[in-house]
Structure 1
Amino acid sequence: MPQGTTKRSTAMSPSAANPARLLCSAILVFILLAGITALILYLVYRPSRPHFSVLSTAIYQLGNGTASAAVPATAITTTMQFTVLIRNTNERASIRYDRLSAYVTYHDQAITAPAPLPPLYQERDSAVAVSPVLGGGPVPVSGDIAAGLMTDEAYGVVALRLVMLGRLRYKSGPFHSAWYGMYVRCDMLLGAKKGVSGQVPLLGTPDCDVDI
């Protein structure tokens, strides 16, 4: 009777597993751990946008029209100063501001030229006030804008918008964010009459919309 032959097992031991499969598994585990770490850091350090509000306004010139060969009759000269409070409400992140500028609009038309502002660094959970002086030179406007501004001054209430532009970045411990563009709009009602110079009342407490 022929002797039975012994069959060899074809199962592979763990040590003989495909190296490429092990490498893929290690990469997947690394990506998963990196994603979890990034999510935890985001939840812990995620910053909120700064808060802007206008504290006071001074008007030294508002819509003074000029007419000459060099300056058209529809050009107006406005000089104003605003005190703006900037609050960084982040408890873990400081903020650096750069390329800042500001100007004033009336009915969506600029009545001052953009004025550059110095860079600003703000510690976490802090507030700082800035007081830029804007205007001082003639700015061309439409006839309707010039007439509307004169009418509002005669009435004693003028609606203006302060616009601040720039970019910011956050710093949380050793982590730095990318630079983000910033657009701030502060809509105000001012108790301003023709010929009055200096501090004017703010009708209400205007907060500002901040887009980042």
Structure 2
Amino acid sequence: MSDKVCSHHKNKRRKSVFRCCACLLVSIFLILLIVLLTWAILKPKKPRFTLQDATIFTLNVSAPNVISTSVQVTINSHNPNSRIGIYYDKMYVYATYSNQQITFFTVIPPVYQGHKDFNVWSPFVYGSNVPFAPYNGIALSQVQSNGAPIEMTIKIDGRLKWKVGSFTTGRYHIHVACPVSVPLGNSKSTGIVVGNGVKYQISQRCSVSV
């Protein structure tokens, strides 16, 4: 008789555990479904970045494998979403030449960007005596001596979070690449002398991946 009672209690417990698990799974499914439907209705768009200008203070290959760079850039960021805000975590700005990093990282502090809002940043990116691939150093020296435009890329790496109402998502990686073409040494240069630097109006749309 006692064996039957124990078996009955075990079955009851199993049913209770099964019901709890089923309710939990259904709740999770409904929550995910609501989030996905909301996301599909809102159709979030990636932020848009534009490189407005670049002021070149230093761009010097002191040896085939050593480069020193000092550049100030103005970057415009726009949130095109009307119902979604964006939290930017720390973002790191740096410059590359021929896919090689030529400056240290400059940090843009965390900031919230509201619906349809704009943010403008003007970070300095610089690097003193940065190791450089010799073939890139020779190529850059030749470009400078010929007066041809120097092709660089200003990059931003960081993380962002989307905000819908009171709901905030997890972090997503964001990668921004802004091409820069500056005619240093060219007699037809359109740059404006600003103190010890030369400022170039760029107005170049950047590529963004999230």
How far, CA to CA, are the matches of 1:135 and 1:31 in structure 2?
48
Q: CA deviation at 1:159?
A: 0.4
* Residue 62 in structure 1 maps to residue 62 in structure 2: no
* Residue 87 in structure 1 maps to residue 103 in structure 2: no
Alignment-mate amino acid for residue 34 of structure 2:
T
Query: Could you report, residue by residue, the CA deviation over 1:117-156 in whole angstroms, capped at 9, with x for unpaired residues?
Result: 2112211111111011010422110221112112222223
Query: Could you report, residue by residue, the CA deviation over 1:136-185 in whole angstroms, capped at 9, with x for unpaired residues?
Result: 42211022111211222222301001111110001111110110111111
Partner of 1:142: 133
What residue ranges of structure 2 are gaps of 5+ in the alignment? Answer: 1-14, 187-192
2:150 aligned to 145, 148, 158, which one? 158
Q: Following superposition, which runs of at least 4 residues in structure 1 exceed 4 angstroms of deviation? A: 26-36
**1:61–1:35: structure 2 CA closer, same or farther, 3 Å change rule?**
closer
For the residue of structure 2 that corresponds to 1:206, the secondary structure is strand
How far, CA to CA, are the matches of 2:178 and 2:205 in structure 1?
6
1:168 aligned to 157, 160, 169, which one? 160
| Greater share of helix | 2
Partner of 2:123: 132
**Contact map agreement 2:52 2:201 (CA 8 A) in 1:** no
**Contact map agreement 1:63 1:146 (CA 8 A) in 2:** no
How far, CA to CA, are the matches of 2:144 and 2:157 in structure 1?
27
Alignment-mate amino acid for residue 143 of structure 2:
D
For the residue of structure 1 that corresponds to 2:40, the secondary structure is helix
Partner of 1:9: none
Partner of 2:9: none
* TM-score, structure 1 as length reference: 0.75
Alignment-mate amino acid for residue 114 of structure 1:
F
How far, CA to CA, are the matches of 2:208 and 2:47 in structure 1?
8
How far, CA to CA, are the matches of 2:30 and 2:100 in structure 1?
52
* Residue 180 in structure 1 maps to residue 172 in structure 2: yes
What residue ranges of structure 1 are gaps of 5+ in the alignment? Answer: 1-18, 67-72
**Please, what is the CA RMSD of the aligned residues?**
2.6
How far, CA to CA, are the matches of 1:157 and 1:42 in structure 2?
43
* TM-score, structure 2 as length reference: 0.76
Partner of 1:106: 97
Partner of 1:96: 87
Q: Which has the larger radius of gyration?
A: 1
Q: CA deviation at 1:113?
A: 1.4
For the residue of structure 1 that corresponds to 2:204, the secondary structure is coil
**Contact map agreement 1:104 1:163 (CA 8 A) in 2:** yes
Name the count of aligned residue pairs.
Answer: 183
